[in-house]
Structure 1
């Protein structure tokens, strides 16, 4: 297996590691760390797209000694690579374009937490795109729900807490139905 086949796994781990680093940095440092991580994520996603285009077949990357129903597996083809590239570019543009609003709408002591949530959101999106097993998909669906609610609540302007609570309730209902459907 080529080294580039590990890029989807590296992109998930990069976002998780960047979230940990942003939690100990101040606002500007967390912003720079997030922009760097999202830029690298876009490059890794584009390299994965290029690799799959040259290979002309999907790649399955087994993590551990067990296949997909019991173990964790990453699978990526052209569709997954295109989705990862588009999502990573949108996430990068959102971070770059929304930085002036972050400084205006969020308290300075919470700016690093905003970037932690953005990085966790990126990790959850990449894991949902690349995963080939239901359990990992369910876990990262829950992480996506919590980070999305946290991003809504961090502003503390108007009725954002109520909107985030409604969003979390509906998403938890949806993920519960997803889990029920996977059991049946």
Structure 2
């Protein structure tokens, strides 16, 4: 089986198992078995369980933000400073949509657990790093230092991951806590990012 096909089969199997059982209950061995692969397949193709999760998250979530964020970034390159509300909207709306389905909640839960653990994972999608977000915020708020922009973005991501990813809950409990409407979240986050230093 070609490498890309093998990787896709492992990602699909992991996604099915995580949705059915939750992250904690799924072993690398179970993923290999569900994909019909040898016991070392995940280790060979990804490394660790966390690396597998990083690849899964990038493949499933990255496309949700890629084009809208590229549009905002292109406007910045053309000399139009983005509004904070503009890129916060692009960030929050997919989170809100994902949180409405069990599959989306599972992906957000994995994202929250991985990112909030502060592990260094091999994300290669640029939007999974902080630098492009910091550049957008600095373009929208040239009065902020890069360090201040970084602090505000870290608080923003932590807040959104807690709200939408519910990392403190077991997988079976996800979605039971009511969330504010997306417009409320966008207004709240934008106010924090727009606040005077």
Q: Do they fold alike, i.e. is TM over 0.5?
A: no
Greater CA radius of gyration, 1 or 2? 2
Question: Normalized against structure 2, the TM-score is what?
Answer: 0.34
Q: Which has the higher helix share?
A: 1
Q: Which has the higher strand share?
A: 1
Question: Normalized against structure 1, the TM-score is what?
Answer: 0.35
